[in-house]
Structure 1
Amino acid sequence: MPLHSLQHLSSTAVLGLWQLTEPPAELWAQLPQATTYQTLMPTTADAVRQAQWLAGRVLAHALLWKLVGAAQDGLVVQNDATGRPWLSGVEAQPLTLSLSHSGEWVAAVVAQGSRAGVDVEVIRDKAQRLASKFLSAAEYDDARAATQAAPDTAHMHYTRLWSAKETLYKLAAQRGIIFKKQLLLSSFVPEESGEIPGTLVLDGAETRHCICYYQPAPGYVLTFCHEPNP
């Protein structure tokens, strides 16, 4: 079943996971308002990107149905000029949407009257190779210490750190953020699932956040954060 799970994070937010196994044609058949979405599909997307794009929107509508039921009529997933997804037609009851895809997994959070971020990543060596570019000096030292005793977990750990910063970035909903200076992660004990304390440094102010993580499937890591609007 491609729809892997739907999970209430609270009474106002739902997290969903979709395992992507279908070609684009099958996803089109499951998508409400397909005619509208045909005009929104990126023209440069190849078959893989099309499938990920479509699955994200099918999943978003499934979460909307779970959260607000028939009130989703007329809602459409749009993208702003920077590519960030948003929901049109929600003036009466503001809804936040966060989407992510990597490999065969698509993740989404829909939140009502609150904000959210979600990120799913294939575990690979890229995050470790680029760690000095997105981790602060203190975070880099913590990561090295955390993986020194178990080097076989290094790829997973660094991917998890990258994913956590991606989730914080989506929560911030601002462009031009410097990952190693404005998206900060505190020390934590790495486990199969858990929480990472995070700090957003925006406009001279610091705010604290809690990023949840776990592995939705072997070879993948998922992070998410949901909280009331500031």
Structure 2
Amino acid sequence: MALVKEIEVESGTLYVWHITESVEELETWLELSAFSQARLLKMKSVNHQKAFLAVRQVLRQLNIADTDLTYNENGKPSLSSGVHISISHSFDYAVVVMSEQNVGVDIELIRDKIVRLSSKFCNERELRFTPTGYLKKMEYLTEIWSVKEALFKMCNSRSLSFAQDMDVNVEQRQAKISQGDFRVELKYHLFRLEDYVLVVSY
């Protein structure tokens, strides 16, 4: 078992784990906290169990104890060291990003259902620039969704609307969050990993 990739980016370090192991293999050498053990037992999906354990394997290889990872009331993770962390998983991959600054990460498998859902998370400007070719359309919309997921993880809020409060400029790799008096502009890194889109926002 090993990390597939360790990528240095402007905003921090990205760690990618390709999940090929069984649940039993992923449990090897792990020392889970009582909180993590309870969370794992509640997971009915084997894929969710694997992703959860793969993230802990990433931390173990970085000499970070499971007890050093905690979550606030909104589900935002943090490390006892004060280093910022963000976590994501999708089917065969689990990813973790760490940074001295607030960051968000998201990985998504490119699937056709993103086209059907686009009006629920895109604003009018984003939809207007959607490419016409079906594959390009799926890639474009998946990028926007993934960026917004990463941005959402950076904010200690559950009230943000993907369609109304967030705007993604794919050409410039920039994004904005606007909600009431709150305004912030952010950047993001984009990676392609097989049929997946991987985004790190900062």
Q: TM-score, normalised by structure 2?
A: 0.88
What secondary structure, in the 3-state scheme, does the structure 1 residue paired with 2:103 have? strand
Deviation at 1:44, TM superposition (A): 3.3
Q: Which runs of 5+ in 2 are unaligned?
A: none
Name 2:178's counterpart in structure 1.
Answer: 201
Structure 2: distance between partners of 1:43 and 1:107: 22
Deviation at 1:75, TM superposition (A): 4.3
Structure 2: distance between partners of 1:163 and 1:15: 15
* Aligned-residue identity in percent: 24
Deviation at 1:135, TM superposition (A): 0.7
Name 2:58's counterpart in structure 1.
Answer: 59
Query: Residue 219 and residue 199 in structure 1: after superposition, are their counterparts in 2 closer, same or farther (change >3 A)?
Result: same
Structure 1: distance between partners of 2:147 and 2:66: 32
What secondary structure, in the 3-state scheme, does the structure 2 residue paired with 1:177 have? coil
Name 2:149's counterpart in structure 1.
Answer: 166
Name 2:158's counterpart in structure 1.
Answer: 175
Name 1:68's counterpart in structure 2.
Answer: none
Q: Which runs of 5+ in 1 are unaligned?
A: 66-71, 189-194
How many pairs align? 201
Structure 2: distance between partners of 1:45 and 1:86: 25
CA RMSD of aligned residues (A): 2.2
Structure 1: distance between partners of 2:179 and 2:103: 17
Deviation at 1:126, TM superposition (A): 1.8
CA contact (8 A) 1:142 1:187 kept: no
- State the AA in 2 paired with 1:85: P
Name 2:3's counterpart in structure 1.
Answer: 3
Name 1:108's counterpart in structure 2.
Answer: 96
CA deviations on 1:106-161 (whole Å, 9 max, x unpaired) are: 1111223x111000001001221111111111111012xxx12x333221221111
- State the AA in 1 paired with 2:26: L
Q: Are 1:133 and 2:103 counterparts?
A: no
